[in-house]
Amino acid sequence: MKRITLSALLMTLFLLMSCNNSASFPKDGQAAKSDGTVIDLVTITNNIKDTVAFAKSVKEVHTLVKSIDELAKGIKKKIGENGLEDDNGGKNGSLLAGAFSVAIAIEAKLLALETKTVDNELKKQVTAAKTESKKFLDKLKEKKDDLGKEDASDSDTKKAIDRKNEANGDKGVSELGKLNTAVDALLKDANAAVESAIKELTTSAKPSNT
């Protein structure tokens, strides 16, 4: 998503109001664009603010989901003088607990997102992502005998969170992959909603004469 700053929005609104060359006389809270189209600044500004805030929240969820891939890089690793180094492995309990904690945070943020948009399609996508998030959490819980111990094996841990090397892992990776797909789609459409809201400021509502 392109960075949207308050100052940039204010500048756009100022230009719209100052460049009114039409015979229209907007009411308070309105502005006329150069083609005579009268727009409701309050409604459009609020819509931009809401869609930007929503997209920002979705990006936070997206970042959390992708962070599990980063955690997976720590399987059978330890901190060494030159960065991560191989160790003897088989001690992944804490790593998996960290991934589980991230998964809980993802589900909580998706639950909150359901109330942050009035767009029905975006709500459906949030619900779909939340469903995949719950499936991932449930799978980790289901496999707690293998994953919920200090000496969780490298093999089991990879099947739980390592999408790169165990794409079909049966201890969570399969569900994690579907969660990634759902959140990727949600972020794409949330960003598109921001672009659409901004275009309302510049796109004429009047048909062009040809």
Cβ-contact 59, 187 below 8 angstroms: yes
Q: What type of residue sits at position 23?
A: A
How many angstroms separate the Cα of 117 from the Cα of each of 123, 188, 201, 202? Answer: 7, 15, 20, 23
- CATH fold of the domain at 53-192: Four Helix Bundle (Hemerythrin (Met), subunit A) (1.20.120)
pLDDT at position 2 over 60: no
The string of pLDDT tens digits covering residues 178-192 is: 999 999 999 999 999
Q: What is the mean pLDDT of residues 140-159?
A: 97
Give residue 21's pLDDT band: very low, low, confident or very high (50, 70, 90). Answer: very low
Annotated domain spans of the chain: 53-192
pLDDT at position 48 over 50: yes
pLDDT at position 8 over 90: no
